[in-house]
A and B are shown apart, each in its own frame.
Chain A
Amino acid sequence: QVQLMESGGGVVQPGRSLRLSCAASGFTFRRYAMYWVRQAPGKGLEWVAGIAYDGSNKYHGDSVKGRFTISRDSSKNTLYLQMNSLRTEDTAVYYCARDRLTTVTWGPIDYWGQGTLVTVSS
């Protein structure tokens, strides 16, 4: 069965860095586009970043552009989100998510991890 397991969340001071990981299993990871979506406490869903199935294209939302970087290592079946210059407004649960379709980007998301909480606070 498809599983996505995020790790790396925690409490961090403003201005510091954190790297999230998402271990994928139960499917051919290298064939699917992947995404990070976050949800601030009590708020709605916000798309953060996406990466093509082969890593050839990466996309980042306006609120994180220049600070966050999405990447993937298909030899390890792992998705990453490098978060630099963190701000208090980056506090959220971060979800790793998979596209429903193989080899395309921007399809519907059919699998989500359970999320990892990042708290940015001094």
Chain B
Amino acid sequence: SYVLTQPPSASVAPGQTATITCGGNNIGSKSVHWYQQKPGQAPVLVVYDDSDRPSGIPERFSGSNSGNTATLTISRVEAGDEADYYCQVWDSNSDYYVFGTGTTVTVL
């Protein structure tokens, strides 16, 4: 089965840039979606199809995808960005959604 690997945690100071990676075999050939989840809340879609943003999501959230790594970048980090972030793809070989292991972003 397809596996997506994320670093467990990332720490960033306010105003700086957070970079979250999502590793998978040839993930660059897939569409990657990213979700933000705050404690006790449902996930929220922040980036879809590698680099598109839903309406209402700040431009500070951006994404890229190439080779074996997809990346979510949060620029000018704010305290409100503190959350868990998950990447997701559709594995066409099995017709499964696959979620990454999740990254907890802490704002120092």
Which A residues form the contact surface with B (CB < 8 A)? 35, 37, 44-47, 50, 59, 61-62, 95, 100, 106-110, 112-115
Query: Smallest CB–CB gap between B103 and chain A, Å?
Result: 10
Please give the residue numbers on chain B whose beta carbons come within 8 Å of chain A beta carbons, in ascending order.
1, 31, 33, 35, 37, 41-45, 48-49, 54, 84, 86, 88, 90, 95-102
Question: Please, which residues of chain B bring their CB within 8 A of the CB of A107?
Answer: 48
Q: Which residues of B contact A95 (CB under 8 A)?
A: 42-43
Complex Cα distance, B40 from A115, in Å, reads 10
CB contacts (< 8 Å) of B100 on chain A: these are 44
Contact B96 A47 (CB under 8 A): yes
A45 to B43, CA, bound (A): 9
In the complex, are the beta carbons of A46 and B42 less than 8 A apart?
no
Interface of B is mostly: strand
* CB atoms of B42 and A108 under 8 A apart: no
Query: Is A45 touching B54 in the complex (CB atoms < 8 A)?
Result: no
Contact of A50 among B1, B48, B84, B97 (CB under 8 A): B97
Closest 3 CB pairs of A and B: A47-B97, A108-B48, A112-B42
Q: Which of B37, B41, B90 contacts A106 (CB 8 A)?
A: B90
Contact flag A59-B102 (CB < 8 Å), given A108-B48, A110-B45? no
